[in-house]
Amino acid sequence: MARLVLCFLVLGLLLWPQLPAHAQTSIPWGDKSTPFGMIVSLGNRVRSDEMDEMITLMQEAGVQWNREEISWDHVQLSKGGPYDWDGNAAGFYNYDRAIDLQRQAGIQVLGLLDYNPAWFKSKNPHPDEWLSDWGDYVYSTVAHYGRDRGQIKYWEIWNEPNLLASGYESGLYSVEDYVRILQTASAAARSADPEAKIVLGGIAEIWSDIPANSYDLLDYLQRLHDLDAWQYFDILGIHPYRPTAPEQPAWRRNHFETLLDQMNNMDALLNRLGRKPIWYTEMGWSSEADGSVSEQNQAAWMQRFLLIALTRPGVEKIFWYDFRNDTGGNQNYRTPINDPNEEQFHFGMLRRIYPLRVDDPNLRKPAYSAFYQLTHAIGGLGWWNTYADPFDNDGMAWQRWKNDDRTVDVIWWTGFPQPASYVNINCGCSRARVRSYDGHVERILSTDDGHLRVQPPTDGRPVWVEWGGYRTTGYRFSEVPHTISGAFRSYWEAKGGLARFGLPLTDELVEPGPGRIPQTVQYFERNRFELHPENPAPYNVLLGLLGNATLQRQGINWRTLPPSQNPPPDGCTYYPETGHSLCWPFKEYWEQNGGVAIYGFPLTEAFWEYDPTLKAGRLVQYFERNRFEHHPDLAGTSYEVQLGLLGQQLYGGWGVWP
């Protein structure tokens, strides 16, 4: 993995419309059908007994491609010796199993072939001494996984040959040496499998002064072209690491550059040297504890980088570095080193935990939820337009992604500390969802004129405004365009239906649950349903703690409220779990309509609360999952006690957010 040299589910195909006129460039539009790549290194960084768990996480996150480094020094231990594809006694480097699992899961593999052989480690001889063996290794690997098994068709040749550590100090003493490595590998791979495609070994950006025997990205590519190496690869692999946020200028020796400058410089070079598709085979930020990039910024910057890069005509795929935090090598696998100040240990979207468990609440970082939101939100959509470019509009960014059925607008603001202005969206819709960068539902907006006004946060975290794509199967309502089905419908019908839960505000959605584990939910006027498939029915559906959430939004911590008297007055019941009692007029309703299983324990005593709609006070009591309201004008009817519309109150709005 490249340090910034500053010293520094498989988703459906994406449908990409023709570029709007304002975005036409001389660089042709690339194949963006499967752009979401990841550096997981399943074969050499995940122990064989944990690969199944990692595959589950890759599918869950929406990873479409993984770059699998098939290290020469681990598959052939001696000159002329056999090739070992199924790992060592410790359970690592089992490439056969790793690649089998990925292909069975529908995940494509980019094979990375790199570094000099085991019998020359630490000696760094000239390539003349191992070039023939290198060709044999490339031929054997491509024949095994390409021609014979049909699992890998794309091969990246070497990693960051322009940098000191992986170039000069790994035996490539000149650019000419890498050209010979590339030429030999290209010939061997195409001989082994005529369908093989060659990816140039990720050339990295250098932001600091350039060390001896190193080359910056554009200079190295120019040298390769001058040495007639352009013919030896099909796809340009680059590592566009940068020390700052995508839109923020970063200092490169004698000038500042944004991500836009990086991309423009690359396109200008390709216009001169000859067009090649661009794959970002590594990109990422570390969230180590020095505070320069927080976990939240890592997540937001990742999301913004992908959104910007995917609207660039020539960029086809982005491999994020990396999926899981690193540690001090495989010898530390069971007891991982998690030095909070080590940059290389914090690039991941998953924390380093042993054993690896999908249900571990400490596993997922904010970047994981942000990646999940991005891949699932724009999966099946194509980029439609950029209404506000963050490089041109004082920090406001606004993109639209859509297909015939569903539309998503993504908006972010980097012009802080000034507050962002509102974006006026002509959605032509009656209802839209606003989600945070990590997928949490922030607001459900209704509109009678097809217009919305949305203001993004001032901290650079994107908001996602989604409409359309409503489910067409299940129990439908004439009042709203949503349906209920499956476990949620069974629960809704069995536990009181419309009177108790109200109309649905959404279809089923997925948002981060506890521990950022993706959870299926559905919002109703009076509550939120949460699916817990690990529980037996009827406990596989639980209600959200909306009573607690409503108090929190009002700035009330129920734990600090004065407790009720104990023992309670006659006719009341005291609940030590929360220190409050149930009395008339709410006790009977609570007991006869589900009690603690439906509403939870009381969080307050009954008290008078002002209702701005009625412009009058009324008696209410808050419970963990709802609010009871007394309507004395309906005394003697079944509507004397009603449930608060907390789902609507917490999440509903009329055309404007926030």
pLDDT digits (tens, 9 = 90+) for 70-113: 999 999 999 999 999 999 999 999 999 999 999 999 999 999 99
Q: 18 lies in a domain?
A: no
Q: Are residues 62 and 124 in the same domain?
A: yes
**How many CB atoms lie under 10 A from the CB of residue 296?**
18
Q: 5 lies in a domain?
A: no
Q: Are residues 209 and 134 in the same domain?
A: yes
Q: Are residues 459 and 580 in the same domain?
A: no
Long-range contacts of 601-604 (CB under 8 A, 24+ apart): 601/575, 601/577, 602/575, 602/578, 603/547, 603/548, 603/551, 603/558, 603/561, 603/578, 604/551, 604/558, 604/561, 604/580
415 Rama sector, left if φ>0, alpha if ψ -120 to 50, beta otherwise: alpha
Q: Are residues 331 and 423 in the same domain?
A: no
Q: 12 lies in a domain?
A: no
Q: What pLDDT was estimated at residue 581?
A: 96
pLDDT digits (tens, 9 = 90+) for 535-575: 988 889 999 999 999 999 999 999 999 989 899 999 999 99
Q: Are residues 481 and 579 in the same domain?
A: no
Q: 2 lies in a domain?
A: no
Query: Do 485 and 471 form a contact (C-beta atoms < 8 A)?
Result: yes
Q: What pLDDT was estimated at residue 412?
A: 97
Average pLDDT of span 587-593: 94
Residue 214: CATH number of its domain: 3.20.20.80
**How many CB atoms lie under 10 A from the CB of residue 137?**
21
Given 451, 468, 485, the domain boundary residue is 468
Q: Are residues 128 and 144 in the same domain?
A: yes
3-state secondary structure of 139: helix
Q: What pLDDT was estimated at residue 288?
A: 86
Q: Structural domain tally of the chain? A: 4
Highest mean pLDDT among 28-37, 225-234, 283-292: 225-234
Q: 223 lies in a domain?
A: yes
Separation between Cα atoms, residue 198 and residue 189, nearest integer Å:
8
Query: Do 350 and 338 form a contact (C-beta atoms < 8 A)?
Result: no
Q: Which residue has the tokens 């109150």?
A: 649
How does residue 614 score in pLDDT terms, banded at 50, 70 and 90? confident
pLDDT digits (tens, 9 = 90+) for 388-437: 999 987 899 999 999 999 999 999 999 877 778 999 999 999 999 999 99
Q: Are residues 301 and 193 in the same domain?
A: yes
Separation between Cα atoms, residue 553 and residue 37, nearest integer Å:
39
Given 468, 485, 504, the domain boundary residue is 468
Q: What pLDDT was estimated at residue 14?
A: 38
Q: Are residues 635 and 518 in the same domain?
A: no
Q: 423 lies in a domain?
A: yes
Q: Are residues 260 and 311 in the same domain?
A: yes
How far, in whole angstroms, is CA 401 from its chain's centroid? 17
- Mean model confidence pLDDT for the chain: 93
Q: Are residues 446 and 521 in the same domain?
A: no
How does residue 364 score in pLDDT terms, banded at 50, 70 and 90? very high
Q: Are residues 302 and 331 in the same domain?
A: yes
Is the CA virtual torsion 568, 586, 589, 556 positive or negative?
negative
Q: Are residues 258 and 115 in the same domain?
A: yes
Given 468, 500, 520, the domain boundary residue is 468
Q: 9 lies in a domain?
A: no
Residue 5 pLDDT exceeds 60 = no
pLDDT digits (tens, 9 = 90+) for 279-288: 999 999 999 8
Separation between Cα atoms, residue 354 and residue 334, nearest integer Å:
6
Residue 457: CATH number of its domain: 2.60.40.1180
Q: Which residues span the domain enclosing 596?
A: 547-657
Q: What pLDDT was estimated at residue 25?
A: 54
Percent share of the chain, pLDDT over 90: 86
Residue 13 pLDDT exceeds 50 = no
Q: 482 lies in a domain?
A: yes
